[in-house]
C-alpha cells in the first residue's frame, strides 16, 4: 500500500486565519490526522499500511490492546525520538513507555492539540467480554478549535449524551458482533449531534455491516454522513 492511495479529507478551519486539518483514512480503525505540520496517528496497524512510506508521527493514540488497534512494530516504524504515545494502561505497560490515560483523564500534547480519554465498552449481554468497562479508551481530540471524537471499540453508551453539540467530527465504530449496529450508531449520532459523522471500524468480520444505511437513517438529522473506504 502507498500513502497516496488512501482517501483524504480536508477539514476547513472555521477560525479566521486558522489552519486546515487533513484526515487520511488508512483502513479499519487506522487514521492519520495532519495539522500545522504535526502528524497524529490513531491505532496504526501494519497489515493495513506500509508505514515505511508514511510521515513520522508526532503523536500516536492507541485505544486498546487488540491486534487490530495495537501494533508495536508499526509504532516503532513511524515513531521518532520526540514522538508522544498516548494509550490506556494495558498498552503503555506493554510498550513500557508513553502516557497512560484512564477514562476522563486528559493531556495537552502541544500548544494547540489536547486529548481527553473517554469510555469505550460493550453493553450487550455476552459481548462485554470483548470490551469491558473502564479498561479501554475512546478519545476526544481538540485541535485548535476543532473537536474530533474517536470512539474506539464501543457500543452506544450513556456517556455519549454528555458530548451533545460539543463534537465537530465523530468517528463511530460500526461492525458486528464487536461494536455498534446501524441502529446503535444512529442513536449515538442523535445523542452526540456532530456536524460530520464518519463511520469507521466496519468490515474485517464475517458479518457484513450495511454501512450506507446510516445515510438514510440520519437523513432528518443535521449531520453530514461521510462514508470513506476503510475496508
pTM of the model: 0.94
| Per-residue model confidence (pLDDT) at position 122 | 84
In a domain, 12, yes or no: yes
* Adjacent-strand bridge partners of 150: 139, 171
Task: Write out the residue range of the structural domain in which residue 92 sits.
Answer: 3-225
pLDDT band at residue 1 using 50, 70 and 90 as cut-offs: very low
Task: Tell me how many domains the chain contains.
Answer: 1
In a domain, 230, yes or no: no
Cell matching residue 226: 461521510
In a domain, 211, yes or no: yes
Alpha carbon 155 to its chain's center? 14
In a domain, 90, yes or no: yes
Q: How far is CA 177 from CA 33, 77, 183, 205, 208, in A?
A: 28, 31, 13, 8, 10
| Per-residue model confidence (pLDDT) at position 40 | 98
Please provide residue 42's backbone torsions phi and psi, each rounded to the nearest 5 degrees.
-115, 120
Q: What number is the average pLDDT over the span 167-186?
A: 91
pLDDT digits (tens, 9 = 90+) for 64-103: 999 899 999 999 999 999 999 999 999 999 999 999 999 9
pLDDT band at residue 44 using 50, 70 and 90 as cut-offs: very high
In a domain, 231, yes or no: no
Cell matching residue 204: 474485517
pLDDT band at residue 205 using 50, 70 and 90 as cut-offs: low
In a domain, 123, yes or no: yes
In a domain, 169, yes or no: yes
Q: The CATH number of the domain where 152 resides is what?
A: 3.60.15.10
Amino acid at each position: 500500500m502507498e500513502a497516496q492511495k488512501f482517501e483524504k479529507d480536508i477539514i476547513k478551519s472555521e477560525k479566521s486565519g486558522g489552519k486546515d486539518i487533513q484526515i487520511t483514512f488508512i483502513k479499519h480503525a487506522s487514521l492519520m490526522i495532519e495539522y500545522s505540520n504535526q502528524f497524529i496517528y490513531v491505532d496504526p496497524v501494519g497489515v493495513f499500511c506500509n508505514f515505511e512510506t508514511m510521515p513520522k508521527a508526532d503523536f500516536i493514540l492507541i485505544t486498546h490492546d487488540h491486534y487490530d488497534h495495537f501494533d508495536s512494530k508499526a509504532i516503532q516504524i513511524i515513531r521518532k525520538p520526540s514522538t508522544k504515545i498516548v494509550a490506556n494502561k494495558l498498552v503503555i505497560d506493554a510498550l513500557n513507555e508513553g502516557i497512560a490515560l484512564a477514562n476522563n483523564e486528559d493531556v495537552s500534547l502541544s500548544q494547540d492539540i489536547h486529548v481527553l480519554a473517554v469510555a469505550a465498552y460493550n453493553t450487550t449481554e455476552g459481548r462485554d467480554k470483548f470490551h469491558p468497562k473502564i479498561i479501554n479508551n475512546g478519545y476526544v481530540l481538540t485541535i485548535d478549535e476543532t473537536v474530533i471524537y474517536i470512539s474506539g471499540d464501543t457500543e452506544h453508551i450513556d456517556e455519549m449524551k454528555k458530548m451533545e453539540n460539543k463534537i465537530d467530527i465523530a468517528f463511530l465504530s460500526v461492525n458486528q458482533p464487536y461494536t455498534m449496529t446501524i441502529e446503535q450508531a444512529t442513536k449515538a449520532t442523535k445523542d452526540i449531534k456532530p456536524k460530520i459523522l464518519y463511520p469507521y471500524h466496519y468490515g474485517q468480520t464475517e458479518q457484513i455491516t450495511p454501512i450506507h444505511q446510516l445515510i438514510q437513517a440520519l437523513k432528518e438529522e443535521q449531520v453530514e454522513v461521510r462514508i470513506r473506504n476503510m475496508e
